[in-house]
Each structure stands twice: as structure tokens, then as C-alpha cells.
Amino acid sequence: MQPTIRIVKRGAGRTTNSPVVNEIEKTVQQREREMVNTVKSWVAEWEARNRALKNAALSLMRESLPHNALQS
């Protein structure tokens, strides 16, 4: 019988629902600040994605219009 090799990736054993010790020690203000920063980053990503889509749409519209229409 061949021995089996078991591969355990880092952090794979830490699948618990209990918060990390640092999370317990954080104050309410620290947790709220982190939550606000997370939401702000989501909003910034959403705005950047919308800007990129808008710019892509405008460039496609410019390419599809005849050259003379842009000069009017």
C-alpha cells in the first residue's frame, strides 16, 4: 500500500467563523471607519468603471460618425 501525500495550503486550516483577535479588540469607531473606507473604495471603483464605459462609448461614436459631422 502506497502512502498518501496530503497537501495543505497556507490558511486553508483557518476556516472558522470566529473573528480574529484583532477584530475583537477594535473599537466601534475603528470598525465603522474601515466599513466607510470599504464602501468609499467600492464607489470609487464603480465611478471609474462608469467613466471608462462612457469614454469607450464616446470613442466608438466618434469613429462611426463621418469625419465632416465632427467639424460642424
Tens of pLDDT, residue by residue over 4-22, are 887 777 776 666 666 666 6
pTM of the model: 0.51
Tell me which of 6 and 35 has the higher pLDDT. 35
pLDDT of 6 reads 77
> How far is 3 from 25, CA to CA, in rounded Å?
44
Q: What is the pLDDT of residue 64?
A: 86
Average per-residue pLDDT in the chain?
Answer: 82
Q: Between residues 35 and 16, which one has the greater pLDDT?
A: 35
Secondary structure of residue 30 in the 3-state scheme: helix
Cβ neighbours for 70, distance < 8 A, ≥ 6 positions apart: 62
